A and B are shown apart, each in its own frame.
Chain A
Amino acid sequence: MAQKQITRTVAPEGLSDLLSATRWASLALIDDGRLSALAIRFFYDRGRYFVGVRDDDRLAAGTRVSLLIDDGVYHTELRGVRVQGTIGGSSDPPKAESGRAWLEVIPNRVSAWHYGAMRRRER
Chain B
Amino acid sequence: MKLDARARSFLRESMIARLATLSGSGSPRLTPLWFVLHRGRIYMNTRADSPAARDIRGDARVVVLFRRDRSADAAKTLRLIGRAQFLTDSAVNRRMYVGAALKYHLSPGGIRNFLAGLGSLRERILYYRERAGEAGTIEVTPESVEWLDPSA
Contacts and interface: CB of A to CB of B under 8 A. Distances in A.
- Provide the main secondary structure of the chain A interface: strand
A30 interface: yes
A26 B30 contact: yes
A4 B114 CA distance: 23
Contact of B75 (A24, A77, A116, A119): A24
Interface residues of B, number: 45
B65 A77 contact: no
B109 A74 contact: yes
- Provide the main secondary structure of the chain B interface: mixed
Chain A, interface size category, equals: 35 or more
Given A4-B131, A70-B18, A76-B116, A36 B63 contact: yes
Contacts of B64: 37
A101 interface: no
Nearest to B127: A6
Among B16, B49, B74, B148, find the residue whose CB has the most chain A CB atoms closer than 10 A.
B16
Contact of B79 (A6, A38, A66, A116): A38
Interface string A20-45: 00001011111000111111110000
A8 B127 contact: yes
Nearest to B112: A74
A37 B113 CA distance: 30
Interface of B: 15-16, 18, 20-22, 26-32, 49, 61-65, 67, 69-70, 74-75, 77, 79, 104-105, 109-110, 112-114, 116-117, 120, 123-124, 126-127, 130-131, 148, 150-151
The 4 closest A-B pairs by CB, nearest first: A74-B113, A28-B28, A28-B20, A76-B117
27 contacts: A5-B130, A6-B126, A6-B130, A24-B67, A24-B74, A26-B65, A27-B30, A28-B30, A35-B20, A35-B63, A36-B20, A37-B18, A37-B28, A39-B77, A66-B27, A70-B16, A70-B32, A73-B104, A74-B110, A75-B117, A76-B113, A80-B32, A82-B29, A82-B30, A116-B117, A118-B127, A119-B123
